[in-house]
A and B are shown apart, each in its own frame.
Chain A
Amino acid sequence: NAGVTQTPKFQVLKTGQSMTLQCAQDMNHEYMSWYRQDPGMGLRLIHYSVGAGITDQGEVPNGYNVSRSTTEDFPLRLLSAAPSQTSVYFCASSSRGGGATEAFFGQGTRLTVV
């Protein structure tokens, strides 16, 4: 049982380049989400999904796209990277609804945009 698998672990991009951060979970969780973590701030929600085919914006969605074609996968796309997107990104999943749902996190992706 791998839990939440997030790749890559590190990435350096040039301004304007695009890339996709991969996230996969094998727990059949309905809810998946992407967060960014910046110094002095709590994790902030970028996008989330409550099931295959359903996505919605979080707190800081600009510059990012997501899709959810399967229950297992929830990739995050940076269309045209900017230095302001330098951050550590975490993918998380949980079963949907209610309070008694534990959250599982990927190992994180440290992204630097130069």
Chain B
Amino acid sequence: KNEVEQSPQNLTAQEGEFITINCSYSVGISALHWLQQHPGGGIVSLFMLSSGKKKHGRLIATINIQEKHSSLHITASHPRDSAVYICAVRTSGSRLTFGEGTQLTVNP
């Protein structure tokens, strides 16, 4: 079993829908990252969380340390949100362990 599990693996939505991507992990962590990867592009950091909730524009990330679970929400989704969203946890020192990613497609 992977230390970081994401669901769903693939998600298709219509423009304007509310989207949730989930991440569960099985190890002790010091922080959790949500990353975004566009087709053919690099990886950018969206959020880094160690507790609670963060919001940036239409994106919201939450984490429940006791339940070892995090969610990434996108409100009023748009086709430009189409990308792979990756959850990564920071374990010992500065090492990151990654989930497999969630491929999101938002149709107009």
Binding site for B on A (CB under 8 A): 31, 33, 35, 40-45, 48, 50, 58, 90, 92, 94, 96-108
Contact = CB atoms under 8 A, between A and B. Distances in A.
Given A43-B88, A100-B48, 8 more contacts: A35-B98, A42-B88, A50-B94, A94-B94, A97-B93, A99-B29, A99-B30, A108-B41
16 contacts: A33-B95, A42-B2, A42-B100, A43-B86, A45-B95, A58-B95, A90-B43, A97-B94, A100-B48, A102-B45, A103-B45, A103-B96, A105-B42, A106-B42, A107-B41, A108-B42
A42 B95 CA distance: 14
Interface residues of B, number: 26
Contacts of A35: 98
Contacts of A101: 31, 48, 90, 94
